[in-house]
Amino acid sequence: MAPRQILNSRAWNRAKRGYQSGVNIVLGITGSIAAYKAADLASQLVKGGHSVHAVMTRAATEFITPLTLQVLTRNPVLVTLEDEKQSWKPGHIELADNAGLFLVAPASADVIGNFANGLAPDPLSSIYLALPRSTPVVIAPAMNGKMWLHPAVQRNVARLAEDGVRFIGPAEGDLACGYQGIGRMAQVEEILAGLGI
């Protein structure tokens, strides 16, 4: 399989022009205390005229409820493959086929590892693997600084970057674990500015 088209700055700017309004966005939310920021991010994207489809890992539901994201996005939230029983067509494949942008915020080390290694234990990872190769992918990591700097995580990040995935953050500051340093999810405004929408 060919690697995801790497978007250099010129290609990324060309892709962003299509984002001015009405983009179909798959917003992935993973298990992190930063998951609460996904509510604001989803709300801002919807206010910007975009269609947002939230996909959560089970761990994310420990930090924010699917109902919150369903109300903010005005779309059903996918957490497990069991949620797809309403249709004959697998929902995760349909979301992948129709995505104009795949954004994961926050992204845990676990999900970054799944993406980098082609693993699909949940709908979010399945959607990533089923995306058309031309779909832009943006990841906003959030984790403890030691986890972020671990060689295994950095290998996974490098592999995804080679595949054309863009990273926004992580930022430095106070971390939920009580440490200070790198690992915070980028602020919603920074993520939106990085997307150009």
Catalytic machinery residues: 177
- Rounded Cα gap, residues 174 and 72, in angstroms: 28
* Cβ–Cβ < 8 Å for 188, 152: no
DSSP 39-65: HHHHHHHHHTT-EEEEEE-TGGGGTS-
- Rounded Cα gap, residues 92 and 173, in angstroms: 35
Quote the crossing angle between the two packed helices 66-73 and 37-47, to the nearest 10°.
10
* Cβ–Cβ < 8 Å for 54, 75: yes
What SS3 state is found at 36?
helix
